Structure 1
C-alpha cells in the first residue's frame, strides 16, 4: 500500500485490500523495468484532476533504481516513513526544498532524515499490457 496522504496518517481501512493472492500484472517488455514494484495507492493527496494525477485506488509502477537526491527533481517519489510508504513530488516552494502533493488541499512537507527514498513512480497500471507513463 502506498499512501497519497500525509506521513502521520494511519493506514485507513478503505476497502482496497485484496482478498487472496495479489492480482497479476501483465506488462509488455517496454513497460517493465527490472526490480520494479507495483503499489496500490490509498488517499487523494496526489490527485489534482489532471491526466498526470495519481488517484486513490490506482496501481502504480515504481522503479527503485531511480533515486537521486531527496530534492533532485519534481518526479513522484515513493518514500518509506515510520507509518509506511508515501508518494510526493520533490520540488521548490518559496525557495525551499519540500515534498509536494498535487492536490492543493494537502500542504507541502519537509523530508524527515529518518525517511528513506524507495524509488520513482514511472507509470500507472491501467490493465493488461496498458500503462500510462508519468
Structure 2
C-alpha cells in the first residue's frame, strides 16, 4: 500500500483548494465579479498562483505515483511533501509580489523534476533489465 503517497496526494489537493479559496476572497476584496478573470494586479497575482498550481498538478500527480510504484512510497511522499511546501511558498509569495514567487517555484519544480526523472529512470531500468 502507498499510504504516505496517498496522504501527500490529499495535501496537494488541499493546497489547490486553499489557492481557490484565496481567489474567491480576492474577488470580494478587489471587486472582481464572476466570470471575469482580470482585475487589479493584486487580484491577478492570486488568480495566476491558483491557475499555475492547477497547471502543475497534471505533471506532479502522475510523477508522484509512478515514483511511489517504481521506487517507493516513503521516498515519493518525502519528495511530494517538498512539492507541497514549495507550492504553498509559491502561492503566498506570488500573492505578495511577482518577484516573491521564485523560491517556491524553484522548490516545487525541483521536487517535480526529481519525481519525474526518478520514475522515468526506474521504468527504463526495469524495461532494460527484464
Q: Tell me which interval the TM-score lies in, with the shorter structure as reference length.
A: under 0.3
- Greater per-residue helix proportion: 2
Larger radius of gyration: 2
TM-score by length of 2: 0.22
TM-score by length of 1: 0.21
